[in-house]
């Protein structure tokens, strides 16, 4: 089935006032870092925290009276679930939401808070979809598919309309892709308005289902991804041909690159995004040469990230940038040795946050101790200076790998 620019414009008119027209802003700092003109579309500022509000609302508004009365069912790893639940509640439509067992707690609780009946089922989205299909048949509920529905695709495509209006002519558009609804809808809108624009999907290298489908390969999957919102095992039957026709390439990004992008957006833009939401920026950082000097739009697709996950990303980022380091020192186990080391660290401006003192679990001679210091620094140069000062003071140390 073909999705047209008119479908997307009609969707924009239908959902106007029901979703947030999110800002699309130029990032001076990110542009300087990557050497391109970076414009960010803040879909993490939608009421439910992701772009899914658009497609879900457009689909629900298209239901007839009988379908509304019977209710709807949806399967989702979180963002689609929240969007369907929220807008169904607004429209007075009963909703059943099936979510995978390991969906982040934040997304589950938010979905329940919108009054939906929530069921946790299956290891991944595919198993949840099967149960949702069963409910659709047995209970006569309308299935609001997360990506393989023309009204959902058209609703997601309204993002590109807003970006073109706010940012003018873009050279490049980067969009996260799982099942393909977001990418298909926005590729349709963007290519219709700017035929010369380059469009790239971005996918976790652990879940390259769209990349494999486009290449005609059997899909292969790794461990669970931090970008669970795009960790989809099978692209949509409607979305795949659209993406094959309109998208230049789907780029893989590593988990580390996604983590770095989440942290960079937090530090530079003071905005919280989930793993999938940071995928576009991760791709620019990973493939910086491809976008150098180009006017580049990036869709920050969502911000629903669990606080423990965000906390881990922050701590791991501090370690990677050597703003949090661990140093191992061998000391004589006599009074005053530990104090001498801490004085040197303090004089150099290091902030000790933890000391682990090992006498027994060590291969050192008796009356020697192994001491591990965890400290905050200002970065690599500062950390190197602290190590040099310690060595000069008679306490050579080595880095401990994180």
Given a cut of 60, is residue 193 above it in pLDDT?
yes
For residue 2, what pLDDT band results from cuts at 50, 70 and 90?
Answer: confident
- pLDDT at site 234: 87
- pLDDT at site 359: 63
Establish whether domains 5-50+151-316 and 52-149 are of one fold: yes
Side-chain-side CA neighbours of 2 within 13 Å: the count stands at 5
Tokens representing residue 229 in the block? 């919102």
- pLDDT at site 125: 74
Q: What is the distance between the alpha carbons of residues 75 and 120, in angstroms, rounded to a whole number? A: 10
- pLDDT at site 185: 98
- pLDDT at site 88: 97
Question: Which tens digit of pLDDT belongs to each residue from 346-375?
Answer: 999 999 999 987 766 566 666 677 888 899
Task: Please tell me which of 30-39, 116-125, 387-396 the model is most confident about, judged by mean pLDDT.
Answer: 30-39
Question: Which tens digit of pLDDT belongs to each residue from 54-80?
Answer: 999 999 999 999 999 999 999 987 899
Q: What is the distance between the alpha carbons of residues 226 and 232, in angstroms, rounded to a whole number? A: 13
Share of the chain above pLDDT 90, in %: 75
Tokens representing residue 56 in the block? 């879900």
Tokens representing residue 89 in the block? 């509640």
Element (H, E) at 291: helix 288-291
- pLDDT at site 121: 85
CATH architecture of 5-50+151-316: 3-Layer(aba) Sandwich (3.40)
Average pLDDT of the chain is 92
Q: What is the distance between the alpha carbons of residues 170 and 357, in angstroms, rounded to a whole number? A: 56
Given a cut of 90, is residue 176 above it in pLDDT?
yes
Question: Which tens digit of pLDDT belongs to each residue from 143-153?
Answer: 999 999 999 99
Give the pLDDT mean for 9-13. Answer: 98
Using DSSP's 3-state secondary structure scheme, residue 1 falls into coil
- Just list the catalytic residues: 52, 301
Torsion of CA 356, 359, 362, 364, to 10 degrees: 120
- pLDDT at site 364: 63
Q: Exposure pattern of 287-310 as b/e (b: 16+ CB <10 Å)? A: beebbeebbbbbbbbbbbbbeebb
Domain edges within the chain? 5-50+151-316, 52-149, 322-399
Any idea which of 191-195, 260-264, 283-287, 389-393 has the lowest mean pLDDT?
A: 389-393
- pLDDT at site 396: 83
Given a cut of 90, is residue 394 above it in pLDDT?
no
- pLDDT at site 367: 66
Element (H, E) at 56: helix 52-61
Question: Which tens digit of pLDDT belongs to each residue from 84-109?
Answer: 999 999 999 999 999 988 877 777 88
- pLDDT at site 129: 84
Residues counted in the chain:
402
- pLDDT at site 361: 59
Which of 253, 234, 235, 231 is CA-nearest to residue 244? 235
- pLDDT at site 135: 87
CATH number of this structure's domain 52-149:
3.40.50.1100
Q: Which fold has domain 322-399?
A: Alpha-Beta Plaits (3.30.70)
């Amino acid at each position: 089935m073909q999705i047209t620019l008119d479908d997307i414009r009609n969707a924009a008119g239908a959902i106007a006032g029901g979703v947030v027209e999110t800002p699309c802003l130029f990032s001076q700092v990110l542009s300087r870092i990557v050497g391109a003109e970076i414009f960010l579309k803040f879909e993490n500022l939608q009421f439910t925290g992701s772009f899914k509000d658009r497609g879900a609302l457009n689909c629900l508004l298209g239901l007839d009276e009988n379908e509304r009365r019977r209710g709807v069912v949806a399967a989702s790893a979180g963002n689609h679930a929240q969007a369907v639940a929220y807008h169904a509640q607004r429209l007075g439509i009963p909703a059943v939401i099936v979510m995978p067992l390991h969906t982040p707690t934040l997304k589950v609780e938010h979905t329940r808070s919108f009054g939906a009946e929530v069921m946790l089922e299956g290891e991944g989205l595919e198993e949840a979809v099967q149960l949702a299909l069963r409910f659709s048949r047995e209970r006569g509920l309308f299935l609001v598919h997360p990506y393989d529905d023309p009204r959902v695709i058209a609703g997601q495509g309204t993002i590109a309309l807003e970006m073109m209006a706010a940012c003018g002519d873009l050279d490049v558009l980067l969009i996260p892709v799982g099942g393909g609804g977001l990418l298909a809808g926005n590729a349709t809108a963007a290519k219709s308005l700017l035929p010369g624009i380059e469009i790239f999907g971005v996918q976790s290298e652990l879940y390259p289902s769209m990349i494999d489908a486009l290449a005609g390969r059997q899909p292969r999957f790794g461990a669970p991804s931090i970008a669970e919102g795009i960790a989809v095992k099978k692209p949509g039957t409607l979305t795949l041909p659209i993406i094959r026709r309109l998208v230049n390439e789907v780029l893989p990004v590593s988990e580390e690159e996604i983590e770095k992008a989440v942290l960079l957006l937090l530090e530079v833009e003071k905005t919280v995004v989930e793993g999938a939401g940071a995928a576009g920026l991760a791709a620019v950082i990973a493939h910086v040469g491809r976008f150098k000097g180009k006017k580049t739009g990036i869709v920050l697709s969502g911000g629903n990230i669990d606080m423990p996950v965000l906390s881990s990303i922050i701590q791991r980022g501090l370690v990677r940038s050597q703003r949090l380091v661990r140093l191992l020192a061998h000391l004589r186990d006599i009074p005053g040795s530990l104090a001498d080391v801490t004085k040197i660290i303090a004089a150099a401006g290091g902030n000790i946050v933890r000391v682990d003192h090992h006498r027994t679990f060590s291969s050192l001679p008796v009356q020697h101790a192994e001491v591990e210091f965890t400290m905050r620094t200002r970065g690599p140069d500062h950390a190197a200076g602290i190590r040099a000062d310690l060595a000069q003071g008679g306490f050579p140390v080595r880095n401990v790998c994180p």
